[in-house]
Chain A
Amino acid sequence: MSVLLSTLKDEFKTVQRLERRYVRSIKALPFGSFVLRKRRCKSYGYLTYRQNGQVKQKYLGSLSGQSIERYRTAMQDKRAYKEKLKNIRAQLKILQRALRGHAT
């Protein structure tokens, strides 16, 4: 087996592992987008998402400043992971094409 093929196979395995890792990381974060509504002096959080084509909202209750910050950080992390996942899936496609049937 050529050195190039074996290197590509190793890369393919690494990229698959990274894909699994990013999917796992996204799943561990709150599902949907974080929305904050202010009523009088209180802030109320919602997670907005789509289910069967319908927009749904999950009520999170009245949130403290610390909780709001936690949700905002989680949303930032999710955006970063989604970007990484997009990148890694593009690499996976290239490697699959390069390996053409030699991937396993």
Chain B
Amino acid sequence: MGMQRNLVAKLLKALSRAGVLDQVLLIGSWCASFYKPYFKNIDYSPRLMTRAIDFLLPRHPRFQQSVDLELLLRPLGFEIEFYGSGYMKLENPELIVEFLISEVGRPTDKPKAVPALHFNAQPLRHLHMLWRDPIRTMAAGVEIALPHPADYAIQKLIISSLRSKKDKAQKDREVAAEVLRALHLAGKSESVQHALRALSVREHKSALQELERLDLHFVT
């Protein structure tokens, strides 16, 4: 675990130096662990981080300079691996770096090419909401952007209802519940209401159902 954390620190520093971190949100299981400074006065300690570290690109990425991600991360032992219809991941024995992008319009299995990064990102549904109100925090000596915890938790609830694998859905619900409880304890429940208001009708309904199921309606 220590080795993995060191590698995450090196990865963040490398991406920050190349100007990539200014444009992306850190999401996924690692994001939950970086919320610790946000919840500094309460007991919040996410326990499960996976091997995958995910970054969310804006819908229309505009990088000031072109960065070859593979060249940038090769010194850290990362190599490109192609998946499915051509989207890429950067793999190392300790960590797998993924770049995701919000999918809008008709569903497609085609990857989204990001020429400025020499990379193909994976488009996924229900990610746009994570861009509503990002927060900034320090990690490994660099500034990173994270989705607002309320958006992160609500998004987890929405995708949990769409998962075909029950255990993955359960994991999403547990992560969401942990963040929502922390928001409630920190007296920031109104941010959950803001996050809910920004959703589409269908997403709103799905999020409310999940909150009801988890007995977390008090946060709304």
**Residues of chain A at the chain B interface (Cβ within 8 Å):** 1, 3-7, 10-11, 14, 18, 21, 80, 84, 87-88, 91
Q: How far is the CA of A91 from the CA of B50 in the complex (A)?
A: 13
Chain B interfacial residues counted at CB < 8 A:
17
Contact of A84 among B51, B77, B165, B170 (CB under 8 A): B77
Q: Could you say which residues of chain A place their CB within 8 Å of the CB of B51?
A: 11, 14
Query: Closest Cβ of chain B: how far from A88's Cβ, in Å?
Result: 5
**Residues of chain B at the chain A interface (Cβ within 8 Å):** 48, 50-51, 77, 81, 91-94, 96, 165-168, 170-171, 174
Q: How far is the CA of A21 from the CA of B91 in the complex (A)?
A: 10
Contact of B50 among A1, A11, A21, A84 (CB under 8 A): A11
Q: Are B93 and A18 in contact (CB under 8 A)?
A: yes
Q: How far is the CA of A5 from the CA of B165 in the complex (A)?
A: 13
Q: Could you say which residues of chain B place their CB within 8 Å of the CB of A3?
A: 48, 167, 170-171, 174
Query: Closest Cβ of chain B: how far from A75's Cβ, in Å?
Result: 17
Q: Which residue of B lies closest to A91 (CB)?
A: B93
Q: Could you say which residues of chain B place their CB within 8 Å of the CB of A4?
A: 48
Q: Could you say which residues of chain A place their CB within 8 Å of the CB of B167?
A: 1, 3, 5-6
Pair count A-B, CB < 8 A:
34
Q: Given A7-B48, A14-B51, A80-B77, decide whether A88 and B171 contact each other with a Cβ distance below 8 A.
A: no
Q: Could you say which residues of chain B place their CB within 8 Å of the CB of A91?
A: 93
Q: Which residue of A lies closest to B170 (CB)?
A: A3
Q: Are B50 and A10 in contact (CB under 8 A)?
A: yes
Q: Is the interface of A mostly helix, strand, loop or mixed?
A: helix
Contact of B96 among A6, A7, A14, A87 (CB under 8 A): A14
Q: How far is the CA of A1 from the CA of B171 in the complex (A)?
A: 11
Q: How far is the CA of A11 from the CA of B51 in the complex (A)?
A: 7
Q: Which residue of B lies closest to A22 (CB)?
A: B93
Contact of A7 among B81, B93, B94, B171 (CB under 8 A): B171
Q: In this complex, which of B91, B165, B174 has the most chain A Cβ atoms within 10 angstroms of its Cβ?
A: B91
Contact of A6 among B81, B94, B171 (CB under 8 A): B171
15 residue pairs from A and B, CB less than 8 Å apart: A3-B171, A4-B48, A6-B165, A6-B167, A6-B168, A6-B170, A6-B171, A7-B50, A14-B51, A21-B91, A80-B77, A84-B77, A84-B93, A87-B93, A87-B94
Q: Could you say which residues of chain A place their CB within 8 Å of the CB of B93?
A: 18, 84, 87-88, 91
Q: Could you say which residues of chain B place their CB within 8 Å of the CB of A88?
A: 93
Q: Could you say which residues of chain B place their CB within 8 Å of the CB of A87?
A: 93-94
